[in-house]
Amino acid sequence: FDKTGTLTYGRLTLLDTHTYTPLGASDCLALAAALEQHSEHPIARALRATVDELRHTATDVASTPGAGLSGAINSQRYFLGTAAFLQEAAGVRTQDDALAALRAGGNTLVLLSDTRQLLAAFVIGDEVRAGAKTLITELQRHGKRVLLLTGDHPGAAERVARETGIREVEADLLPQDKLARVHALADQGAIVAMVGDGVNDAAALAAAHVSVAMGGGTQIAAASADMILLSEHLPHLAEAVLVAGKTLRVIRQNMAWAVGYNLIALPFAAFGLVAPWMAALGMSASSLMVVANALRLSERTARAAPCADARL
C-alpha cells in the first residue's frame, strides 16, 4: 500500500508554518503555492488552498517525483520538498534537530528554500481512511503479507502503520525504490498486489501482478492500474480478495470435472458402449454442471451486498 491518498484520505491540511528568515509565513506560503500550481499531489492541493489568490508565477518548474520541485519566481530559484531534496538540488542543509521536533507528531513536513538557506517548514496533517484498519486486519487474517511503502518520512509512516495495524513499513522511498521493492518481492516468488493513487505509484502499479488505483487518484495512476476502486471504501478490497479466491477455486473445480468426465466418458464412447443420444445427454449434463457451479459465485456476491458498490 501507498500511504497518502490511499490509506489516508489525502485531504491534507496545513497545521502550522515555521519560518527561518525575516520572510513571513504568508510570503512563504505564496511562494509554495506558486510552485505547487504545477503538481497534482495532495500536498500541492493543501498548500494551494492556503492562499486566496496567486501572488507569484513560477516558471521553469522541474519536478522530481517523490522528492519535490523547483522553479523560478522573480528571477530567484526556489525549492520545495523533502530535506534530502533540498540538500541535493539546492545544496541547502537543514537542521535535523529542529525538524525532528516538528516530525514528532507523525505529520508530513514540506520544506521551502532558495539557493542559500531554508526559508520555511510546512507541517501538514492527514487522516487515516475509515475502514483502513478493517481491511488490513482482514487481509492479515487470511494470510496476506501487508507492506506500507511511502515517500513520506518515517514518523508519518509509522503513525499510519500503528493506526492500521501494518507491521512492515518502508519510508523515504522514491518511485524507483517502490518499483524495486515490487520487483524484489516478485523475484522471491510472491504474487504482488499494489494499491496506490499518485504519480509516485505509477511505476510500481504497472509492475505489480495486480494493481488497484483509488478513484480520486491521479490519471496516470489510473492508467497504470488494472482496476480502479471508485467507491474508495477500502473494505471492498477485502471482499474482492475473497471473491477472487473463490472464483479461482471454482475454475479449478470445473477444470477437474471436465478433465475427469472426459477421461471416463471418451473410452466408453470410443468402444461403442455409449449410444449417441446418451453421449449427447451426458455432454449437456456436464456443461450444465459447470455452469451451475460457476453460478455459485453470483450467490456469494449477492450475499456480500457492500461489494456491489465497489465497482472495481
Which residues are registered as beta bridge partners of 148?
Answer: 169
Catalytic one among 2, 126, 197, 201?
2
Q: Let me know if 2 is a catalytic residue.
A: yes
> What would the grid cell of residue 115 be?
539557493
Position 173: which residue type? Answer: L
User: How far is 19 from 273, CA to CA, in rounded Å?
Assistant: 91
- Radius of gyration for the chain, computed over Cα atoms and rounded to the nearest angstrom: 26
Task: Look at strands 147-149 and 168-170 and give their pairing.
Answer: parallel
For the beta sheet containing 68-73, the strands, ordered from the edge strand earlier in sequence to the opposite edge, are: 13-19, 118-125, 108-113, 76-81, 68-73, 59-64
Closest CA to 100 of 155, 141, 170: 155
Helix axes 154-164, 132-141, angle to 10 degrees: 70
Active-site positions read 2
